[in-house]
């Protein structure tokens, strides 16, 4: 089997950057590091291999090739390849390319060969471990020559067997053994319900039936905790909530009853009105567990998945932007890292690379996001991926008719990603299954996206569903629940033959969509897919008998009643308790100079510049990004939100923002949730979003919900979600929850801080009114809008002092009028720049405005609207909600002030061209003074990677 | 006056087709998008167009190197059609990934060997940069400078010293990266990828095949500029001038 190695000629950038990483991250100093790409090609001879190497693989000016296994004297050779069964997108492209030059290859295997000089064997082993992820990759270490032996690649085939599982006679212990060993994640009540159903129909379930029920009833698909009945005891007061989700999130939306809501909660994404003929779909998902095991593959498939949600909203929306929010342990984490956990810096880099590679390849700009750091995300990082799309009005409706054909398009089905949906509902531990991890292939998704949008506009299909958690079993089972469907698994195109029927049925292989296509349209549908280079296959038909019937040839794999599958899940009932904790508010002696504190907070990884990350994301593709993530005199200031102008012929725009404050949940998840909602709206309004046309998404990531206390925290946060969404008139249109984010290791559990992400999508009628956060002109006045309170609980200032405190920021009844007035002043053109005031308080927000605009700023705390114990540090660093800092042109102050009435608004200073940032304390003495370049440097140094 | 027909090529992973088509329309062309498979399978003929643009994106995910697989596809299945198109003096344009494709098919520079390879920074970057003309040709006509974005991971123009000298001598280097004041830049980030001699765009020797790494189609209205809310800027974005030059030249050829 010929092996082609591609080496860099001249400067080896990859080798050099790896050499630096090894020294920095592992403390290994090497004499030389070089990286080569290896292609092992089956079914070609030496001459053909030479042709492939020369015509396709080698870029002669910068690369050279070697056919065979080149040795290196005195060097250690580390070679890394994806494990068999794990998808390698490069292999697929290489096969297509080789076919394109007229050579018929059997298969291609790629690997990476790392040559290291000047180390010993133990370090070679460490480097191998550092570079590979054993869950998905094989790594060999050899001296002077690669130890990777190429085995024949062709897979074997297996007998398509269908097993039955004996439930009829199983007792409780046996039922739980079946659930556990089958990785079904079903509890005893659920197992008993299934047993009783099959007893009634007088047979045992097949493996495929049990898998289907487990997938359909998984927390991932059914949100059992959020849909349970909750008996809630709050500080001794009892309340019965019949369905937590319906009585909080859904109830808020229903009571607001906005006429611009098009589709809420019922589809893969929420949809709101944008123009008379075009609507916007928006969805944010979590993809936490896979990202912990394999950050690159996990985050990549997270993005791929949420993009498919948008493509499957209604008859399919065209994606226009991505937003991504991550929570990690700090990248400079110095504590001991338990075995099997990846270092947070490595997780962060893997996740960022995945967003870059997947989002950029899809041609969807990543325009907004946040990265939050806390030690307790060590074992369970959070990866939130969001996408929005535009869809013609009317296309939100989808409906299948009997007799239509079931067609799958996109990637092939393989053994990757079996049990992802059930696995995501469990806590992680050392034995988490490797088969739950998948590798995405953005180009496969891009191809079928182009194909389906063309087919959509021609009206060729009546329904689309994406294959996500649970694979075909969830997608097809759900889309056919009102009709019934007959599926033939032997017709499904496979990546490799070694799969039994139930595995084909539940595989979560990425980049697949299923459609309902009327028979008369199917030829045209398949023709379009073929033109776009995506495979399309008829795998079944929709019936009218409300049954899920799955065959492999003539062999019956599944025959279930849709009613039982979708309605048979026993209702859960939970107890929840909240006791207000007795927390102490610290009191500090006033300091003379808060400049060092401000610099420290600016350097905190959660606040520091993320330019290193943002620049790697394409935020310009589609040419619609009107407010970019980086703004200001040097294009490097932190935008509050992004604004997109998605239509070439309209000035209307979409504003996207987010709010997330996990530190507050350490005090009270109620105010944590309220703050996240307020912050999301604040960010949108600061950029010109309209608070009266703003919808939100809720994404709960909890540390666990097994105890009454944790259920109490969830209930309390959900109640806040209802209350403040109603107060601020922000309907929820979709959401998601991931409630088991803990890692069990060495008999210890590391639990994340309960985290709620609120994502906001707002409509602006004219993007030309957009305001950015960078200060514009010396002489202009600086205002603070909204009152400041003694609310440093959970603040970054307290964080500097290792305190949490008790006075968590609240949201008050005055909030709606502040948002309304701020928004109307912006739309009247009275505001030159506006920045959301949040983490780090007034000091941080004002400093960011000044250095982003390359201007000095002089502030005085005496004028700040404030209630509470008066100390400089409280005014500077309190994180009270519903506040903005606004710049008003000199001479228009009166106009602005009267427009803002009755919202608390005060002129607190002005901009100067001396590039000096200074704040006078309550006593008139200087409390902060620094050159803006020093402050900017503090803010940028953390991620100067 | 006759209106030139412009083709915007689509294909597995190209993704700047809509904004590129929009810019061509604003510049006065009749436009159409077609998939590369439509050309290969004969449903669309290159012959019916006066301008063909391969836009930006990630054809085949940039696997095996940016533009490499689409280049192999063109060389293998469409070479004579493209050759005829160029021989007829029509305009063949590649932006970003399209530039990479044209370099890897050998249409650019055409008379010597060159390539576009990984950025010196080692990764993809999105940033606005300044470029200025380095030759007087149909593409640079009337343009003093452009502030436009780059969005790529493999944009470093590389050729041998002798070939670089030849390209310059022939006037094939069309645009170079420069600093904010339009002086020659000494390096990163003004030259965002480490391109030799700050080369951002080149033509073939005949002057009708043009490739550039930056994206002029992403700056056709004022509000696309990163600092539009703080600077005095004209309503029209600077990038449109390039597309107007392309369309005007094609118009003149039709007349």
Average pLDDT (B30-48) is 96
Mutate to test the interface with B, among A446, A533, A620 (most CBs of B within 10 A): A620
Assigned domain for A68 exists: yes
Q: What is the spatial distance between Cα A126 and Cα A21, in angstroms, rounded to a whole number?
A: 13
Q: Which of residues 597-616 of A touch B (CB under 8 A)?
A: 614-616
State the residue range of the domain holding A920.
771-945
Number of structural domains chain A divides into: 2
Assigned domain for A870 exists: yes
CA distance A833 to chain B (A): 9
Q: What CA–CA distances, in Å, run from A138 to A79, A81, A141, A896, B134?
A: 8, 5, 10, 64, 50
CB contacts < 8 A (A, B)? 160
| CATH classification at residue A118 | 3.30.1280.10
* A242-258 pLDDT per residue, tens: 999 999 999 999 999 99
Band the pLDDT of A185: cuts 50, 70, 90.
confident
Q: Which residues contact A301 (CB under 8 A, 6 or more apart)?
A: A287, A290, A417, A438, A439, A440, A510
Angle between helices A89-100 and B68-77 (to 10 degrees): 20
Average pLDDT (B10-25) is 96
The residue among B142, B139, B35 whose CA lies nearest residue B95 is B139
**Could you say which of A123, A143, A163 is where a domain stops?**
A143
Host H or E run for residue B254: helix B240-254
CA distance A1 to chain B (A): 20
Residues A56, B113: C-beta atoms closer than 8 Å? no
What is the C-alpha radius of gyration for chain A, rounded to an integer number of angstroms? 29
Which chain B residue is nearest to residue A356, measuring alpha carbons? Answer: B124
Assigned domain for A154 exists: no
Provide the 3-class DSSP secondary structure of residue A159: coil
- Residues of A catalogued as catalytic: 220, 287
CA dihedral A702, A704, A709, A714 (to 10 degrees): 30
* A297-340 pLDDT per residue, tens: 889 999 999 999 999 999 999 999 999 999 999 999 988 888 77
**Is the pLDDT confidence value at A430 over 50?**
no
Q: Which of A924-938, B61-75, B185-199 has the lowest mean pLDDT?
A: B61-75
Q: Which of residues 26-65 of B touch A (CB under 8 A)?
A: 35, 37-38, 41, 56-58, 60-65
Average pLDDT (A571-577) is 94
Q: Which residues of A touch B120 (CB under 8 A)?
A: 13
Q: Which of residues 478-537 of A touch B (CB under 8 A)?
A: 531-533
- Cβ-count burial A138-160 (b if 16+ within 10 Å, e if not): ebbbbeeebebebeebebeeeeb
Strand residue runs (E) in A397-453: 405-410
Assigned domain for A728 exists: no
B13 and A CB contact within 8 Å: yes
Assigned domain for A573 exists: no
Host H or E run for residue A51: helix A46-52
CA distance B222 to chain A (A): 9
CA distance B203 to chain A (A): 19
The tokens for A51 are 């042709």
B215 and A CB contact within 8 Å: yes
Instruction: For chain B, give every domain's residue range.
Output: 5-254
Q: What CA–CA distances, in Å, run from A354 to A324, A375, A469?
A: 11, 23, 19
Residues A621, B151: C-beta atoms closer than 8 Å? yes
Residue A742, pLDDT score: 87
DSSP code for B48: G
CA distance B70 to chain A (A): 8
Residues B37, A532: C-beta atoms closer than 8 Å? yes
- As a whole number, the mean pLDDT across chain A is 93
CA distance A679 to chain B (A): 23
Average pLDDT (A884-903) is 98
A707 and B CB contact within 8 Å: no
Q: Which of B178, B217, B225, B249 is catalytic?
A: B217
Mutate to test the interface with A, among B14, B36, B62, B64 (most CBs of A within 10 A): B64
B218 and A CB contact within 8 Å: yes
Residue A21, pLDDT score: 87
Residues B58, A442: C-beta atoms closer than 8 Å? yes
Task: State how far Cα A187 lies from the chain centre.
Answer: 28
Across the interface, of A443, A619, A768, the residue whose CB is closest to B60 is A443
Assigned domain for A806 exists: yes
Instruction: Check residues A766 and B255 and name the one with the higher pLDDT.
Output: A766
Which alpha helices (DSSP H) does B68-182 contain, by range? 68-77, 79-87, 97-105, 161-169
Instruction: Check residues A563 and A26 and name the one with the higher pLDDT.
Output: A563
B15 and A CB contact within 8 Å: yes
Percent of chain A with pLDDT over 70: 97
Q: What is the spatial distance between Cα A457 and Cα A455, in angstroms, rounded to a whole number?
A: 6
Q: What is the CATH number of domain B5-254?
A: 3.40.50.880
**Is the pLDDT confidence value at A85 over 70?**
no
Residues B12, A61: C-beta atoms closer than 8 Å? no
Residues B125, A616: C-beta atoms closer than 8 Å? yes
Across the interface, of A13, A776, A853, the residue whose CB is closest to B118 is A13
Band the pLDDT of B207: cuts 50, 70, 90.
very high
* Residues A785, A882 contacting (CB under 8 angstroms): no
Q: Is B21 a catalytic residue?
A: no
Average pLDDT (B102-113) is 96
Residue A248, pLDDT score: 97
Residue A470, pLDDT score: 87
The residue among A551, A468, A471, A495 whose CA lies nearest residue A211 is A471
Give rounded-to-5 percent helix, strand, coil for chain A.
35, 25, 40
Average pLDDT (A461-489) is 95
Predicted TM-score (pTM) of this structure: 0.95
**Could you say which of A116, A143, A170 is where a domain stops?**
A143
B151 and A CB contact within 8 Å: yes
Q: Which residue has the tokens 């004499």?
A: A31
**Could you say which of A79, A111, A143 is where a domain stops?**
A143
Across the interface, of B123, B124, B229, the residue whose CB is closest to A772 is B229
Average pLDDT (A31-36) is 95
Residue A435, pLDDT score: 55
Assigned domain for A825 exists: yes
Q: What is the spatial distance between Cα B17 and Cα B34, in angstroms, rounded to a whole number?
A: 10
Residues B229, A771: C-beta atoms closer than 8 Å? yes
Across the interface, of A96, A356, A625, the residue whose CB is closest to B124 is A356
Instruction: Check residues A221 and A410 and name the one with the higher pLDDT.
Output: A410
| CATH classification at residue A778 | 3.90.650.10
**Is the pLDDT confidence value at B141 over 80?**
yes
- The strand pair at A856-860 and A916-920 is best described as parallel
The tokens for A259 are 């006429």
Q: Which of B50, B147, B152, B215 is catalytic?
A: B215
Instruction: Check residues A571 and A634 and name the one with the higher pLDDT.
Output: A634
Residue A337, pLDDT score: 84
Average pLDDT (A802-821) is 97
B180 and A CB contact within 8 Å: no
Q: Which of residues 153-172 of B touch A (CB under 8 A)?
A: 158-160
Q: Is B22 a catalytic residue?
A: no
Q: Which of A389-393, A507-511, A916-920 has the lowest mean pLDDT?
A: A507-511
B106 and A CB contact within 8 Å: no
Beta bridge pairs of residue B133: B175
Q: Which of A504-518, A662-676, A741-755, B134-148 has the lowest mean pLDDT?
A: A741-755
* ipTM of the shown complex: 0.97
Host H or E run for residue A745: strand A742-745
B111 and A CB contact within 8 Å: no
Residues A533, B128: C-beta atoms closer than 8 Å? no
**Is the pLDDT confidence value at A431 over 70?**
no
What number of CA atoms fall less than 13 Å from residue A255's CA on the CB side?
16
Average pLDDT (B237-243) is 98
């Amino acid at each position: 089997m010929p092996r082609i190695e591609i080496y860099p000629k001249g400067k080896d950038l990859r080798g050099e950057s790896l050499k630096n990483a090894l020294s920095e991250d592992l403390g290994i100093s090497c004499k030389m590091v070089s990286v080569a790409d290896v292609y092992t090609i089956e079914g070609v001879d030496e001459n053909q291999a030479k042709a492939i190497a020369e015509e396709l693989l080698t870029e002669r000016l910068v690369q050279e090739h070697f056919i065979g296994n080149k040795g290196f004297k005195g060097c250690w050779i580390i070679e890394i390849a994806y494990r068999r069964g794990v998808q390698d997108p490069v292999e697929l492209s290489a096969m297509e390319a080789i076919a394109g030059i007229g050579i018929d290859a059997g298969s291609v295997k790629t690997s990476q060969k790392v040559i290291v000089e000047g180390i010993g064997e133990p370090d070679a082993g460490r480097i191998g471990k550092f570079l590979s992820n054993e869950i998905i990759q094989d790594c060999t270490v050899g001296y002077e020559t690669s130890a990777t032996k190429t085995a024949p690649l062709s897979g074997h085939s297996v007998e398509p067997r269908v097993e039955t599982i004996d439930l009829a006679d199983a007792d409780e212990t046996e039922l739980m053994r079946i659930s556990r060993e089958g990785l079904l994640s079903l509890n005893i009540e659920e197992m008993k319900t299934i047993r009783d159903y099959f007893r009634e129909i007088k047979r045992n379930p097949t493996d495929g039936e049990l898998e289907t029920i487990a997938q359909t009833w998984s927390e991932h698909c059914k949100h059992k905790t959020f849909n349970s009945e909750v008996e809630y005891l709050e500080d001794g007061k009892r309340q019965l909530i019949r369905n937590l989700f319906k009585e909080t999130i859904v109830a808020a939306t229903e009571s607001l009853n906005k006429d611009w809501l098009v589709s809420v909660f019922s589809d893969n994404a929420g949809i709101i009105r944008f123009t008379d003929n075009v609507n916007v779909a928006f969805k944010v998902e979590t993809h936490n567990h896979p990202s912990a095991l394999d950050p690159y593959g996990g985050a990549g498939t997270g993005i791929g998945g949420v993009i498919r949600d948008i493509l499957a909203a209604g008859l399919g929306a065209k994606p226009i932007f991505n937003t991504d929010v991550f929570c990690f342990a700090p990248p400079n984490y110095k504590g001991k890292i338990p075995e099997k956990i990846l270092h947070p810096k490595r997780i962060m880099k893997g996740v960022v690379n995945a967003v870059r590679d997947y989002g950029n390849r899809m041609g969807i700009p990543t325009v907004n996001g946040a990265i939050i750091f806390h030690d307790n995300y060590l074992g369970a990082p959070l990866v939130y991926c969001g996408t929005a799309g535009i869809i013609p009005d009317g296309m939100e409706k989808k409906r299948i008719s009997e007799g239509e054909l079931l067609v799958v398009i996109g990637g092939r089905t393989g053994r990757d990603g079996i049990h992802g949906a059930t696995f995501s509902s469990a806590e992680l531990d050392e034995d988490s299954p490797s088969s739950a991890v998948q590798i995405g292939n953005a180009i496969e998704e891009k191809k079928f996206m182009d194909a389906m949008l063309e087919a959509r506009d021609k009206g060729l299909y009546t329904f689309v569903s994406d294959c996500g958690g649970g694979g075909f079993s969830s997608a097809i089972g759900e889309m056919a629940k009102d009709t019934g469907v007959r599926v033939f698994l032997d017709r499904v195109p496979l990546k490799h033959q070694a799969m039994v029927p139930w595995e084909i049925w539940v595989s979560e292989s990425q980049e697949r969509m299923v459609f309902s296509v009327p028979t008369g349209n199917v030829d045209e549908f398949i023709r379009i897919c073929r033109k776009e280079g995506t495979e399309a296959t008829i795998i079944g038909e929709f019936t009218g008998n409300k049954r899920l019937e799955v065959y492999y040839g003539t062999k019956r794999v599944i025959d279930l009643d849709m009613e039982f599958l979708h309605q048979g899940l026993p209702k859960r009932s939970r107890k929840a308790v909240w006791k207000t904790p007795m927390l102490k508010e610290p009191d500090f002696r006033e300091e003379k100079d808060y400049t060092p504190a401000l610099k420290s907070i600016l350097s905190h990884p959660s606040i520091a510049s993320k330019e290193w990350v943002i620049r790697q994301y394409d935020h310009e593709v589609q040419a619609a990004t009107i407010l970019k993530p980086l703004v200001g005199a040097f294009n490097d200031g932190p935008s509050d939100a992004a604004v997109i102008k998605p239509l070439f012929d309209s000035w209307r725009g979409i504003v996207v923002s987010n709010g997330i404050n996990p530190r507050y949940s350490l005090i009270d998840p109620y105010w944590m949730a309220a703050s996240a909602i307020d912050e999301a709206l604040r960010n949108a309004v600061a950029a010109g979003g309209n608070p009266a046309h703003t919808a939100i998404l809720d994404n709960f990531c909890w540390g666990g919900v097994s105890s009454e206390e944790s259920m109490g925290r969830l209930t309390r946060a959900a109640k806040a979600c209802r209350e403040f969404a109603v107060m601020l008139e922000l309907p929820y249109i979709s959401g998601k929850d991931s409630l088991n984010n803990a890692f069990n290791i060495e008999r210890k559990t590391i639990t994340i801080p309960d985290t709620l992400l609120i994502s906001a999508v707002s409509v602006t009628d004219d993007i030309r009114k957009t305001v950015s956060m960078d200060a514009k002109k010396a002489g202009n006045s600086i205002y603070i809008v909204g009152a400041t309170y003694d609310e440093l609980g959970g603040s970054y200032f307290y964080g500097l002092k290792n305190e949490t405190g008790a006075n968590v920021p609240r949201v008050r009844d005055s909030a709606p009028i502040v948002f309304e007035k701020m928004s109307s002043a912006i739309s009247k053109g009275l505001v030159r720049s506006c920045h959301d005031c949040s983490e780090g308080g007034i000091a941080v927000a004002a400093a960011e405005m000044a250095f982003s605009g390359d201007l000095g700023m002089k502030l005085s705390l005496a004028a700040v609207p404030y209630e509470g114990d008066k100390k400089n540090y409280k005014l500077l660093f309190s994180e009270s909600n519903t506040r903005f800092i606004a710049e008003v042109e000199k001479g228009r102050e009166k106009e602005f002030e009267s427009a803002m009435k009755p919202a608390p608004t005060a002129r607190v200073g002005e901009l100067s061209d001396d590039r000096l940032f200074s704040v006078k304390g309550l006593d008139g003495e200087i409390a902060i003074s620094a050159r803006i370049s020093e402050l900017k440097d503090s803010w940028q140094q953390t991620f100067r990677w | 006056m006759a209106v030139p027909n412009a083709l915007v090529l689509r294909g597995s992973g190209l993704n700047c087709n809509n904004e590129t088509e929009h810019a061509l329309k604003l510049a006065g062309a009749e436009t159409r998008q077609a998939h590369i498979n439509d050309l290969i399978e004969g449903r669309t003929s290159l012959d019916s167009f006066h301008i063909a643009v391969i836009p930006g994106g990630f054809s085949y995910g940039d696997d095996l190197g940016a533009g490499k697989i689409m280049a192999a596809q063109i060389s293998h299945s469409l070479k004579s059609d493209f050759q005829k198109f160029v021989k007829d003096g029509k305009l063949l344009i590649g932006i970003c990934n399209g530039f990479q494709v044209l370099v890897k098919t050998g249409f650019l520079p055409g008379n010597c060997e060159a390539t576009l390879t990984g950025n010196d920074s080692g990764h993809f970057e999105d940033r606005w940069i300044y470029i200025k003309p380095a030759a007087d040709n149909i593409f640079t006509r009337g343009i003093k400078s452009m502030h436009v974005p780059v969005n790529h991971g493999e944009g470093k123009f590389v050729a041998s010293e002798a070939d670089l000298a030849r390209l310059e001598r022939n006037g094939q280097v069309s645009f170079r990266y420069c600093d904010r004041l339009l002086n020659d830049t000494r390096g990163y980030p003004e030259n965002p990828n480490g391109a030799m001699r700050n080369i951002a765009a080149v033509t073939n020797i005949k002057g009708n095949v043009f490739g550039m790494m930056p994206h002029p189609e992403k700056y056709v209205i004022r509000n696309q500029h990163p600092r539009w809310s703080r600077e005095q800027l004209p309503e029209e974005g600077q990038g449109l001038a390039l597309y107007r030059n392309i369309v005007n030249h094609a118009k003149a050829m039709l007349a």
